[in-house]
Each structure stands twice: as structure tokens, then as C-alpha cells.
Amino acid sequence: MSDRVGRRVYSLLRAHAPDALQIHDHNSNSGSALVKGSEFVPSKDELARRLKAELDSASDEVAHRLGGPVARKYLIAYGEPGRRPLIEFPAAVDLLYTTAPRFPRIVDVSIIGLSDEATIAFIRPSDHTPSSWDETWNTPPGRGPFKILLSNKIADSRTQKS
């Protein structure tokens, strides 16, 4: 699609279906995403939804391997597995979104600890120069920058393990 046609489609949508468009505002939490030209830029809410889905997927794998229920409240060791204090999930999303509309090329996600109240996750953005969402890891397709790492050592202090 040429830029001219793209601009025309955009202006028609804006005039007749303004709710179908999300204007990217670095501080905005609402909306799903902006497609800028052909570049996808997730809103902060969309980034949070995708990160939560990755954490849930990693938790499912841990539950399958270790058995028993795995809490879906996440506390995050951001940057390094041993980092303390742990931060809440929304704070991790805020940190990942600070460079939007550019994002870390790879964000490692791993479950490193379990308790009855919360699951401890390790999240590490790569040191690569941030890039567009379309240039992130995205393996398998649709995952964006998120790369699940399965830890061989998971601290498990749950009272019910099976």
C-alpha cells in the first residue's frame, strides 16, 4: 500500500470510525495498539496483556513439571534473577514500556520461585538497542520480544505441591 493510500485510509477511518484507531501516546494506558505505517506498536495495556500471557504460559509449564497449583500473582526479579526487592507486575510493565515505541529485542521470561501467595518471575530485557516491535525476537511468530526460559532450579515453598 502506498503512503498516499495509507494516509487516505487512515483519514477515512479517523473521520468515520475514530474508536477504531489508537493514537500512540507514550503515557497512555488504554487502547490496544497503533499500526504506524506497517509498524505495530502495542499500548501499555497490550504489552501487559502479552507479558501476562507469557508468564502464565511459563507457569503452566512449571505446574506441568512440578505438579500442584501455581499462583498467578507475579512478583518480578527485574534484570537479574537475584535482584531484590522484587517488584510488582505493573512496575515491570512500566519499565519495559519506557522506550516505547521501541522495545527490547529480546525479553527473557522465567519462573524462578513458587509460594502459595505468588510466583516469582525473572524478567530480563536484552542489552540490544531497542527496536520496533516487528524487529523483536518473535519466535514463535506472535510472541514479540518474549522468550521463555525454563529454569532447572525453581525455589518451591508451596505447602500444596500436588
CA distance 108 to 59: 14
Cβ-proximal residues to 143 (8 Å cutoff; 6+ apart), any chain: 50, 54, 137
Least Cα distance to 112 among 123, 103, 101 occurs for 123
Cell numbers that stand for 86 in this block: 522484587
Least Cα distance to 72 among 86, 55, 49 occurs for 55
Task: Tell me the domain boundaries of the chain.
Answer: 43-156
Least Cα distance to 106 among 138, 74, 142, 151 occurs for 138
pLDDT in tens, 6-57: 444 444 444 443 333 333 333 344 455 655 556 889 999 999 999 999 999 9
- Percentage of the chain beyond pLDDT 90 is 70
Q: What is the mean pLDDT of the chain?
A: 83
CA distance 4 to 8: 6
pLDDT in tens, 53-71: 999 999 999 999 999 999 9
